Amino acid sequence: MEETSTSKFLARRPEALRSKTRVKIHGFPGALKEEGRRRPYDGIRSPVSRIQLTFDGYNVPVFVKGSQRRGPHVPSWESRPFVGKLRAATIRLMAESKGEKVVVAMSGGVDSSVAACLLNERGYDVTGLFMRVGVEAPPEPVCESGIMTAGRSHQGCCSASDASDARFVAGMLDIPFYALNFKKDFETIIEYFADEYVHGRTPNPCVACNNDLKFGRIVEYADAIGAKYLATGHYARTGERDGRRVLMRAVDREKDQSYVLFGLDRAVLGRVLFPVGEFEKDQVRDLAARFGLPNRDKPDSVEICFVPDRDYARVVRERRPDAFAEGDVLDQEGKVIGRHKGIGQYTIGQRRGLGIAAGKPIYVTEIDVRTNTVTMGDNDDLLRAGLIASKANFLIDPPAKSFRADVKIRYLHTATSATVERLDEGSFRVIFDQPQRAVTPGQAAVLYDGDVVIGGGWIDRSETNADS
């Protein structure tokens, strides 16, 4: 970034603005009066559509003459009360090329809404896109603004009310908005969800949706309209390593969603933007307030969108009733201690709803589809030394056949140190430094090198010390 005085800047206009150089001007532009100009950038013709004024900790966009985009609440240089506040301001010219087309996947939530606002503010040619997947939520009251905020019961995504929220924000930004019907495509996600439970595995439909729809079908749509970029409201970042684009954890570690993005194609990764990944969640809500978004207090999505009531077994039962044949419940020695009503309603580490009176806390430690049995045990019986994962996807070239990494085995798991051994191009073994609890087939094992995502795969089975 280049810094210059006001007079020097004016002397070399418009060449500085025609480049992609960013120019900072310190102090209130009083020198403009010496040039006999009433407005600082009157008559400038350049790719820049706005400047940004920073004062009292706030960044305020100001549009220059010739801009084709004039949104609400845009301050003007002629506004004397506003200018009076800028005596100690720093003016930063946003000299970045404008007009790059980007498709923003808008879910109606605050994160994707802020992502759209940030990109619009930075001069991108934004198109909003909502995925209509056929999910229906119970009717909810709508406030006078036409948008739901705090207090709504439904906390998933992709419902009709979410589509209305997304459309409302797009209207505020005056950007094109389309709701595409992905119901047929989404059926494959729900079928996968049911099949995994039938096979004694615990699915992760969010990863599957990202791979097949958000960064699959939406990329096709972006190509169709000539959009160079695709953006979402995910908490993740991208960076550069050895000249290649890499996926990274978000600044907000508690909200980081890089785990569910490990399946991205490398070619797609080079086109993806994650505008909110550089912010903490509280900062994103502050940005939403600054942009005047009525959904700034909308609760985060916490449920699987097609299971808003969290009754996973109901979804499996409706689609795979044969998975609910009764079978034996075993203890760690193989002794029958009860009966279950179908393996389709159990997951590794589950404690509630077991229907077994053991006189102490017990957990599901194993699900055997071949014998239709569920094994239960103590918390310590859930510890495993390692795992085998398949269908691997590496976003960077692994350093060696055997390498060190931090490994996450579910979304809310804290990554733990481990040794990773590549078995072939499609699978790998993880050996934990310390045994980990509830290694669950069907979940993803994602590998990190610091903040950088190396890649990941789907857990096939856990391993004890004897196995490895």
Residue type, 29: P
How far apart (Å, rounded) are the C-alpha atoms in residues 386 and 327?
28
How far apart (Å, rounded) are the C-alpha atoms in residues 464 and 466?
5
How far apart (Å, rounded) are the C-alpha atoms in residues 88 and 25?
11
Element (H, E) at 65: none
Burial of 149 (0-12, 13-18, 19+ CB in 10 A): middle
Q: Nearest 5 degrees, angle CA 148-CA 150-CA 151?
A: 95
First to last CA, the chain: 53
Percent of the chain that is helix, strand, coil (3-state, to 5)? 25, 30, 45
Instruction: Please compute, for residue 97, the number of CA atoms within 13 A of its CA located in the half-sphere on the CB side.
Output: 5
How far apart (Å, rounded) are the C-alpha atoms in residues 432 and 416?
7
Q: State phi, psi for 18 to the nearest 5 degrees.
A: -75, -20
Instruction: Based on the residue annotation, tell me whether 206 is a catalytic residue of this protein.
Output: no
* 136 Cβ contact list (under 8 Å, min separation 6): 159, 160
Catalytic residue among 117, 158, 206, 305: 305
Beta sheet of 2-4, edge-to-edge order? 2-4, 23-26, 90-93, 50-55, 58-63
How far apart (Å, rounded) are the C-alpha atoms in residues 374 and 200?
9
Reading the block at residue 328, the tokens are 């034996």
Instruction: Based on the residue annotation, tell me whether 158 is a catalytic residue of this protein.
Output: no
Catalytic residue among 117, 157, 158, 209: 209
Beta sheet of 229-231, edge-to-edge order? 177-181, 125-132, 101-105, 229-231, 272-273
How far apart (Å, rounded) are the C-alpha atoms in residues 31 and 14?
17
Please, which residues bridge with residue 420 across strands? 403, 430
Q: Would you please indicate which residues are annotated as catalytic (active-site) residues?
A: 209, 305
